[in-house]
Amino acid sequence: LTIKVDPEKCIGCGKCKEECFVSAIKMKKGKALIGKGCAGCGMCAMACPEGAIEISIDDPLYIEKAQKRYEELCEL
Q: Mind listing the pLDDT tens digit of every residue in the chain (76 residues)?
A: 889 999 999 999 999 999 999 999 999 999 999 998 998 889 999 999 999 999 998 888 888 888 888 888 887 6
Q: Which residues pair with 31 in a beta bridge?
A: 28
Give the Å distances, CA to CA, from 44 to 16, 49, 50, 75.
4, 10, 11, 22
Output the pLDDT for position 39: 85
**Residues 43-57: tens digit of each pLDDT:** 999 999 999 999 998
The rounded mean pLDDT for the chain is: 92
The predicted structure's pLDDT at residue 49: 98
